[in-house]
């Protein structure tokens, strides 16, 4: 019988073929019931085969949660059904693609997915709605064009990302591409990277000031540097560790200001060993390298790495890769040429202004293909491969802004390139502007999504398409980034206007919201993170953007940047704008607020996870949560003013107010005394797992316990900032727990035929 395995046997390297065959065998064994669920889940994750929303066979259809009756009850992981569609993540080291690889991706998206290739914020490609049975062949077809999905997910070294203009950039010290490539393949499958408690992300940047590499948000970040040693110029890297976004963002710490190129691989290996040995394994919420670096302190971490480095057995690859570095070069397919005439085509001129970047090499440019929401169809991908062959060859890269760039395009070819892209629907202008909205998959396909980040991004995309060119240039240059939850896959912390999905119980129903994060810094490799201000209903986010940008235009001082403006006017003033838009009309007056963007189902968070029944829900918790929000805001202000002790104490009070609210659902007599609230909360919500988020487990409750135990410890501004982040997440988790309890009460009411809705009960209790 014809098979891809036989058809491609000559084209797949033996080691890759064996790996994929082994995975195919695991699938067979799992089907025979011979592999444990957890083991199989980690096995497939390490091959990039991820779960997707509703893969537990439950879906809320807007009326109730219903079972999806797949053909079999077999599972591919704990609570994950075999036949449920999944996501396949495909690692693209440094974002580098060839035309042949683009064609393969196009075919795979068409045959196994939904004819869409999705570019992620870490330069990967993702295919959605893929059946697990199709994954071995999908992987074989990728392997035949030199792509492996190995370690694309799971507790492993994820895709090594890099600046997409490396090698052609005006600001870089040198081209980091071959270094990123070497690092990716050195760490791939390395024995010292197989025992991590959590994922490990690496990024390279050619310079310090621009955004491109985003080294500040990575577990390991390397910035190119040159240094004169003994009269000779040496190449090396400024090395940072322990950065990361996620629920609690950490900025990376400097490990070494200059690591010679001969040392970057062994040092990365030593870091991996220290991480594997000392990193948290049981508590996933604290298992990233950032927590280890924070716990040990950068000096102790550095000492351990240096000690570890001394013990490593020599590996020829440490310096062997330098031959490839020296030989690395990109070959343009066209001779350099300048644009000889000014174009009268206004659309082309707009596109050229925003979507092209003049290379360091005379006569060439980088052209950005702006992909709406990071999506490109199979047909477009195939045609784009042809266009690339004609104008730039295999010099193609994906970007962390979810776009594709064509490098080494002769300037003289830009009008013709534009025309061809236009024919493909790929000539949208506005790359890197406010129109170029970045979004993670959110509730569309992600199991963790709380609000519809893509729905909101799609809506903004449509609204901005006709307006953004009329905006003041100060507004045009802003970045919007959206995550569907606190996990930050949309990199909202780095945006001028960042948003992440949360939910709120309002008027007795659950309403999708986005928390606003303002003034993050995209430049300087993601230099600083934005301020969390408050939450607005999803449907009011476009209005919020209009108001805050309008306020910026009206009130800015001279050429003040948006970041500087946000810092200057401060949280109190910004919060007013949020509060103006915080209200939600009753359902009867306007039901649209109670569903999410581009998803007409009545909003529910039950697809994220359902806890145990907590009995009757009373409305005092709404007041308690509101109080917690207020205290949290005051804590932020105190932090901003440098009153660290006050900020710490107020943040803790906010946690106690939120926890107390939940405790009082079961024991109304408990006062806001931490010594009573914390043990009661532990007993009633932690030990019973009632507070547990389906995917985060008890992580957020531990923030409360840790804060309670470590009060009066030494405080630094950075430490308090982290405590504030944890406070905010704890309050969010309390909102989510409350919403789950309300929905459960509603479901119970339905099943017992009780005519009084939880909403009515809430109102009755409030009146009482």
Partner 1 sequence: MITDLHKLGIKFFNKSGADMPLTDFIPVFHDWIQNNRLDDLLIDVADYSHVPAGPGTMLIAHEGNYAIDETGNQRGFLYYSKHEVPGDTVAERLASVCYRNLSACKLLEEEERTRDRMSLDYGRMEIFSNDRLHGPRTDEALAAFKPQVEQFLNRLYPHTDYEIDYKNSDPRERLLAKVMIHDAADKADTLLPRTRTDSL
| Site stretch for partner 1 (CB under 8 A), options 82-90, 260-268, 650-658, 758-766 | 82-90
Q: Which of 334, 547, 556, 598 is in the footprint of partner 1 by CB under 8 A?
A: 598
For residues 627 and 202, give the distance between their C-alpha atoms in angstroms, rounded to a whole number.
40
| Site stretch for partner 1 (CB under 8 A), options 80-88, 406-414, 676-684, 718-726 | 80-88
| Site stretch for partner 1 (CB under 8 A), options 58-66, 327-335, 481-489, 711-719 | 58-66
Query: Closer to partner 1 at the Cβ: 249 or 455?
Result: 455
- To the nearest whole angstrom, how small is the minimum distance from the Cβ of residue 28 to partner 1? 18
Query: Closer to partner 1 at the Cβ: 421 or 723?
Result: 421
Q: Which of 43, 380, 727, 744 is in the footprint of partner 1 by CB under 8 A?
A: 380
Q: How many residues bind partner 1 (CB under 8 A)?
A: 51
Query: Closer to partner 1 at the Cβ: 419 or 675?
Result: 419
Percent composition of the chain: helix, strand, coil (DSSP 3-state, to 5): 45, 15, 35
Q: Does 53 bind partner 1 (CB under 8 A)?
A: yes
Q: Does 601 bind partner 1 (CB under 8 A)?
A: yes
Q: Does 85 bind partner 1 (CB under 8 A)?
A: yes
Q: Which two tokens stand for residue 202?
A: 């690496």
- To the nearest whole angstrom, how small is the minimum distance from the Cβ of residue 113 to partner 1? 9
Q: Which of 62, 320, 550, 671 is in the footprint of partner 1 by CB under 8 A?
A: 62
With H, G, I as helix, E, B as strand and everything else as coil, classify residue 699. helix
| Site stretch for partner 1 (CB under 8 A), options 78-86, 176-184, 215-223, 412-420 | 78-86
Phi, psi of 735 (to 5 degrees): -55, -45
What distances in angstroms separate CA 669 from CA 353, 614, 660, 665, 676, one per listed residue? 65, 17, 10, 10, 10
Q: Which of 79, 171, 262, 375 is in the footprint of partner 1 by CB under 8 A?
A: 375
Summary count for the chain: helices (H), strands (E):
24, 26
For residues 625 and 130, give the distance between their C-alpha atoms in angstroms, rounded to a whole number.
40
Q: Does 713 bind partner 1 (CB under 8 A)?
A: no
- To the nearest whole angstrom, how small is the minimum distance from the Cβ of residue 372 to partner 1? 4
Q: Does 107 bind partner 1 (CB under 8 A)?
A: yes
With H, G, I as helix, E, B as strand and everything else as coil, classify residue 435. coil
For residues 612 and 737, give the distance between their C-alpha atoms in angstroms, rounded to a whole number.
10
Q: Hey, what's the torsion of the CAs at 418, 421, 423, 424, to 10 degrees? A: -170
Q: Does 600 bind partner 1 (CB under 8 A)?
A: yes
Q: Write the interaction track for partner 1 spanning residues 223-252; mark x where CB under 8 A is met and - where it is not.
A: ------------------------------
Q: Which of 166, 373, 511, 605 is in the footprint of partner 1 by CB under 8 A?
A: 373
Query: Closer to partner 1 at the Cβ: 82 or 562?
Result: 82
- To the nearest whole angstrom, how small is the minimum distance from the Cβ of residue 61 to partner 1? 5
What distances in angstroms separate CA 70 from CA 32, 67, 694, one per listed residue? 18, 9, 22
Q: Does 79 bind partner 1 (CB under 8 A)?
A: no
With H, G, I as helix, E, B as strand and everything else as coil, classify residue 401. coil
Q: Does 523 bind partner 1 (CB under 8 A)?
A: no
Q: Write the interaction track for partner 1 spanning residues 480-499; mark x where CB under 8 A is met and - where it is not.
A: --------------------
| Contact partners, residue 80, CB within 8 Å, separation at least 6 | 37, 41, 51, 55, 56
| Site stretch for partner 1 (CB under 8 A), options 289-297, 300-308, 374-382, 734-742 | 374-382
Phi, psi of 525 (to 5 degrees): 60, 40
Query: Closer to partner 1 at the Cβ: 382 or 721?
Result: 382
Q: Which of 32, 69, 714, 716 is in the footprint of partner 1 by CB under 8 A?
A: 69
Element (H, E) at 720: helix 717-752
Q: Does 379 bind partner 1 (CB under 8 A)?
A: yes
Query: Closer to partner 1 at the Cβ: 457 or 665?
Result: 457
Quote the crossing angle between the two packed helices 699-709 and 644-666, to the nearest 10°: 120
Q: Write the interaction track for partner 1 spanning residues 10-49; mark x where CB under 8 A is met and - where it is not.
A: ----------------------------------------
Query: Closer to partner 1 at the Cβ: 112 or 500?
Result: 112
How many C-beta atoms surround the C-beta of residue 748 within 10 A?
Answer: 14
- To the nearest whole angstrom, how small is the minimum distance from the Cβ of residue 400 to partner 1? 19
CA torsion through residues 360, 223, 407, 376, sign: negative
Q: Write the interaction track for partner 1 spanning residues 110-149; mark x where CB under 8 A is met and - where it is not.
A: xx--xxx-----------xx-x-----x------------
Query: Closer to partner 1 at the Cβ: 159 or 510?
Result: 510
Query: Closer to partner 1 at the Cβ: 5 or 759?
Result: 5
Q: Does 208 bind partner 1 (CB under 8 A)?
A: no
- To the nearest whole angstrom, how small is the minimum distance from the Cβ of residue 418 to partner 1? 15
**Radius of gyration, CA atoms only, the chain:** 26
Strand order in the sheet with 509-518: 438-439, 480-483, 497-506, 509-518, 531-537
For residues 152 and 160, give the distance between their C-alpha atoms in angstroms, rounded to a whole number.
10
Residue 519 in contact with residue 566, Cβ under 8 Å?
yes
The residue behind tokens 């009153």 is 643
- To the nearest whole angstrom, how small is the minimum distance from the Cβ of residue 533 to partner 1? 28
Q: Does 83 bind partner 1 (CB under 8 A)?
A: yes
Q: Which long-range contacts (CB under 8 A, 24 or more apart) does 224-227 make?
A: 224/172, 224/173, 224/174, 224/176, 224/179, 225/173, 225/257, 225/258, 226/173, 226/174, 227/258
- To the nearest whole angstrom, how small is the minimum distance from the Cβ of residue 151 to partner 1? 27
* DSSP assigned state of 682: I
- To the nearest whole angstrom, how small is the minimum distance from the Cβ of residue 495 to partner 1? 19
Residue 735 in contact with residue 625, Cβ under 8 Å?
yes
Phi, psi of 522 (to 5 degrees): -80, -35
Q: Which of 42, 523, 599, 616 is in the footprint of partner 1 by CB under 8 A?
A: 599
Nearest to 4 by CA among 108, 134, 141, 111: 141
For residues 534 and 543, give the distance between their C-alpha atoms in angstroms, rounded to a whole number.
15
Q: Does 444 bind partner 1 (CB under 8 A)?
A: yes
By residue count, the chain amounts to: 768
Beta strands in 39-85 (DSSP E): 49-50, 58-60, 65-67, 75-77, 80-81
- To the nearest whole angstrom, how small is the minimum distance from the Cβ of residue 283 to partner 1? 32
Q: Which two tokens stand for residue 119?
A: 């570019």
Q: Which of 59, 234, 334, 389 is in the footprint of partner 1 by CB under 8 A?
A: 59
Query: Closer to partner 1 at the Cβ: 63 or 588?
Result: 63
Residue 118 in contact with residue 441, Cβ under 8 Å?
yes
For residues 5 and 466, give the distance between their C-alpha atoms in angstroms, rounded to a whole number.
49
Site for partner 1 in 455-474 (CB under 8 A): 455, 458, 461-462
Contact residues toward partner 1 (CB under 8 A) are 1-4, 7, 53-54, 59, 61-63, 68-71, 83-85, 103, 106-107, 110-111, 114-116, 128-129, 131, 137, 372-373, 375-377, 379-380, 382, 424-426, 444, 454-455, 458, 461-462, 598-601
């Amino acid at each position: 019988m014809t098979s891809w395995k036989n058809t491609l046997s000559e084209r797949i390297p033996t080691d890759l073929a064996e790996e994929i065959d082994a995975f195919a065998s695991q699938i067979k064994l799992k089907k025979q019931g011979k592999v444990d669920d957890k083991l199989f889940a980690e096995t497939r994750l390490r091959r990039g085969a991820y779960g997707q929303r509703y893969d537990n066979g439950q879906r809320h259809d807007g009326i109730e949660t219903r079972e999806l009756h797949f053909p079999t009850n077999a599972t591919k992981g704990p609570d994950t059904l075999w036949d449920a569609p999944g996501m396949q993540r495909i690692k693209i080291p440094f974002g580098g693609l060839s035309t042949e690889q683009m064609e393969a991706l196009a075919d795979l998206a068409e045959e196994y997915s939904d004819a869409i290739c999705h570019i992620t914020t870490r330069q990967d490609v993702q295919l959605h709605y893929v059946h697990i049975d199709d994954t071995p062949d999908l992987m074989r077809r990728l392997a035949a064009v030199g792509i492996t999905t190995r370690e694309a997910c799971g507790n492993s070294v994820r895709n090594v990302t890099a600046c997409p203009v490396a090698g052609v950039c005006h600001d870089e010290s040198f081209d980091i591409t071959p270094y990123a490539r070497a690092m990716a393949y050195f760490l791939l499958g390395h024995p010292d990277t197989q025992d991590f408690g959590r994922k490990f992300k690496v990024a390279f940047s050619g310079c310090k000031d621009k955004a491109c590499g985003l080294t500040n948000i990575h577990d390991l970040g390397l910035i190119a540097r040159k240094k004169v040693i003994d009269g000779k110029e040496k190449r090396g890297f400024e090395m940072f560790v322990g950065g990361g976004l996620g629920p609690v963002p950490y900025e990376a710490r400097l490990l070494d200001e200059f690591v010679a190129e001969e040392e970057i691989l062994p040092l990365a290996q030593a870091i991996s060993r220290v991480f594997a040995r000392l990193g948290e394994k049981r508590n996933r919420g604290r298992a990233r390298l950032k927590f280890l670096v924070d716990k040990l302190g950068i000096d102790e971490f550095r000492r351990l790495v240096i000690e570890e480095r001394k013990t490593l057995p020599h590996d020829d690859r440490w310096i062997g890769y330098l031959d490839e570095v020296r030989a690395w070069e990109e070959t343009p397919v066209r001779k350099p040429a300048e644009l000889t005439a000014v174009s009268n085509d206004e659309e082309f001129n707009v596109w050229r202004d925003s979507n092209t970047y003049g290379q360091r090499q005379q006569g060439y440019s980088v052209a950005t293909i702006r992909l709406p929401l990071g999506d490109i169809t199979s047909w477009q991908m195939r045609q784009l491969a042809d266009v690339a062959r004609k104008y730039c060859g295999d010099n193609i890269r994906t970007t962390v802004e979810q776009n594709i760039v064509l490098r080494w395009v002769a300037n003289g070819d830009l009008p013709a390139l534009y025309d061809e892209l236009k024919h493909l629907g790929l000539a949208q202008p506005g790359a890197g502007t406010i129109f170029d909205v970045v979004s993670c998959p959110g509730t569309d396909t992600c199991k963790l999504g709380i609000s519809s980040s893509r729905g909101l991004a799609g809506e903004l995309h449509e609204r901005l398409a006709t307006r953004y060119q009329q905006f003041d240039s100060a507004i045009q240059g802003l970045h919007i980034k959206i995550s569907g939850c606190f996990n930050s896959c949309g990199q909202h912390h780095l945006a001028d206007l960042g948003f992440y999905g949360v939910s709120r119980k309002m008027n007795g129903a659950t309403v999708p919201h986005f928390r606003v994060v303002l003034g993050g810094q995209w430049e300087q490799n993601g230099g600083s993170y934005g301020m969390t201000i408050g939450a607005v209903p999803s449907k009011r986010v476009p209005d919020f953007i209009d108001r805050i940008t309008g306020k910026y235009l009206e009130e800015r001082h001279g050429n003040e940047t948006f970041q500087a403006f946000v810092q200057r006017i401060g949280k109190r003033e910004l919060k007013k704008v949020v509060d103006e838009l915080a209200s939600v009309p009753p359902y009867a007056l306007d039901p649209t607020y109670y569903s999410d963007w581009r998803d007409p189902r009545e909003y529910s968070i039950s697809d994220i996870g359902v806890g145990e029944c907590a009995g009757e829900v009373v409305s005092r918790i709404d007041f308690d949560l509101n109080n917690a929000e207020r205290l949290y805001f005051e804590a932020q202000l105190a932090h901003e003013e440098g009153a660290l002790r006050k900020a710490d104490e107020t943040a803790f009070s906010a946690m106690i107010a939120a926890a107390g609210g939940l405790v009082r659902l079961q024991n109304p007599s408990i006062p806001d005394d931490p010594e009573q609230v914390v043990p009661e909360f532990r007993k009633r919500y932690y030990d019973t797992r009632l507070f547990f988020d389906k995917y985060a487990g008890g992580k957020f409750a531990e923030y409360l316990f840790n804060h309670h135990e470590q009060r009066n410890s030494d405080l630094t501004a950075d430490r308090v900032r982290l405590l504030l982040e944890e406070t905010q997440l704890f309050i969010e988790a309390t909102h989510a727990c409350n919403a789950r309890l309300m929905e459960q009460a509603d479901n119970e009411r339905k099943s017992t035929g009780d005519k009084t809705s939880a909403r009515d009960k809430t109102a009755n209790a409030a009146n009482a």
